[in-house]
Amino acid sequence: MRRFHMATVAAFATTALAQVGWTQTAEPIFGEVTHLKMNYGTGEITTLDPAGEALVSSCYSNSAFAGFFTTIGVVGDEFVDWGIKSCGLTGNVCEFIFGYGTTALDPGAGGPGASIDIAFYPGYTGLCGALPAPAAIYSFTGLPGSPDGVSATAFSITVDISTIGFAAGDGPLGWSYIATDTVSGPLLISTAGTCGGPGDPGTGTQDCFDIYSPTGGACLGTFVFGTAGIASFWMEIGEDDGSFGPGSQVQRFGTGCNTGVLSLGSSAPSIGSTWDPSITTAAVSAPSADFYGISTGPGGDGCLILIDINPPNPLLEAGGGTGFGSPFSIPVPVQCSIIGVGASIQAGQIGVGIGFTNAIDFVIGA
């Protein structure tokens, strides 16, 4: 494996200064952080060359490793850190990097490996404020671990979430490490931002974190370690930068019996948006219901079916809600992998018979 050497850190423990009398220990990591990459959709883990591979459009980085990690001793407990994201990009998150330390025996040595969940909370400002619903939670099990089940070993993982991303606009952002074992936890990060203060320039990260219990999700308090500057958790975020552009949509008309008109949406479809093409000329008399189909490409050569209906198409079929005249509301998921993908849509109506509209050929934008 290609490894990135980190300076060896002398062993010592620190005691948390806690509002509820709870004690937490910062445990040292010796020697090296192993950098890995994971495709979250497939679960495949590969070795990462930190000198040659970086997040595309990395825009938030809280990864100044301090040489320590902390375990999360109660399964389900959630350790929440927060900062200020000011990327100025699309807000569509395609990748992130988290770091963890663990004494869980590595799967290659017959152990279970490390298990931990990562959650994201746009809008969270910390200090036991109201925890909003998470924008996304990512679960990791059987991660690389300690070679002997005793030595604390550190890893960072660049997670490709291009097929299952999430949206997070600029502003306050919380991220959490959730315990699914009791011997793993976040790598601790150097920060100069005092707890309750403005935070580090550029990230807004403060020298404290919140803990939420697994039962009812009550906040147990805001905590700091006895040694200043190591209470924040590793996180780096990569967003789509919008360079592809807004996408496109073009009407394609049939002949003869394609009497309905499907008009363009108010803008071309883009990830994280709702696309709203509408039937503006009825395809039948007394229409009572609209429908549409979306396929990966055009099909047909004239009348009736103008989209590809061979398997695995149509990709999507749905009703139009309240009938003729109402725009369709077609959600486009936050999946960076579909930026630039072309497809086609055709609509129809049920009334006095069944009628069809023209098609729209479109390309999904950023």
Render pLDDT for 199-258 as a digit per residue (tens, 0 to 9).
999 899 999 999 999 988 999 999 988 777 888 999 999 999 999 999 999 999 987 778
What is the pTM (predicted TM-score) of this model?
0.86
Q: What type of residue is 327? A: P
- Rounded to whole angstroms, how far apart are CA atoms 161 and 140? 13
Could you give the 3-state DSSP secondary structure of residue 108?
helix
- Rounded to whole angstroms, how far apart are CA atoms 36 and 113? 15
Count Cβ atoms within 10 A of the Cβ of residue 312 and give its class: 0-12 exposed, 13-18 middle, 19 or more buried.
Answer: exposed
Residue 334 has pLDDT above 70, yes or no: yes
Do strands 235-239 and 58-62 pair parallel, antiparallel, or not at all (unpaired)? Answer: antiparallel
Q: Which residues pair with 93 in a beta bridge?
A: 166, 239
pLDDT category, 339, cuts 50, 70, 90?
very high
Mean pLDDT to the nearest integer, 26-45 = 91
Phi, psi of 266 (to 5 degrees): -65, -25
Q: Give me the CATH code for the 247-364 domain, please.
A: 2.60.40
Domain layout of the chain by residue ranges: 4-239, 247-364
Residue 11 has pLDDT above 50, yes or no: no
| Cα atoms in the Cβ-side hemisphere of radius 13 Å centred on 187 | 29
Which pair of tokens denotes residue 313? 């198409």
Closest among 92, 151, 148, 141 to 115, alpha carbons compared: 141
**Looking at residue 51, what is its pLDDT?**
58
Which pair of tokens denotes residue 104? 């869980």
Q: Which residues pair with 318 in a beta bridge?
A: 292
| Cα atoms in the Cβ-side hemisphere of radius 13 Å centred on 223 | 27
Phi, psi of 338 (to 5 degrees): -100, 0
Long-range contact list for 317-320, CB < 8 A, 24+ apart? 317/291, 317/292, 317/293, 318/291, 318/292, 319/289, 319/290, 319/291, 320/279, 320/289, 320/290, 320/291, 320/292, 320/347
pLDDT in tens, 254-313: 877 788 999 999 999 999 999 999 999 999 998 888 888 898 888 875 566 787 777 666
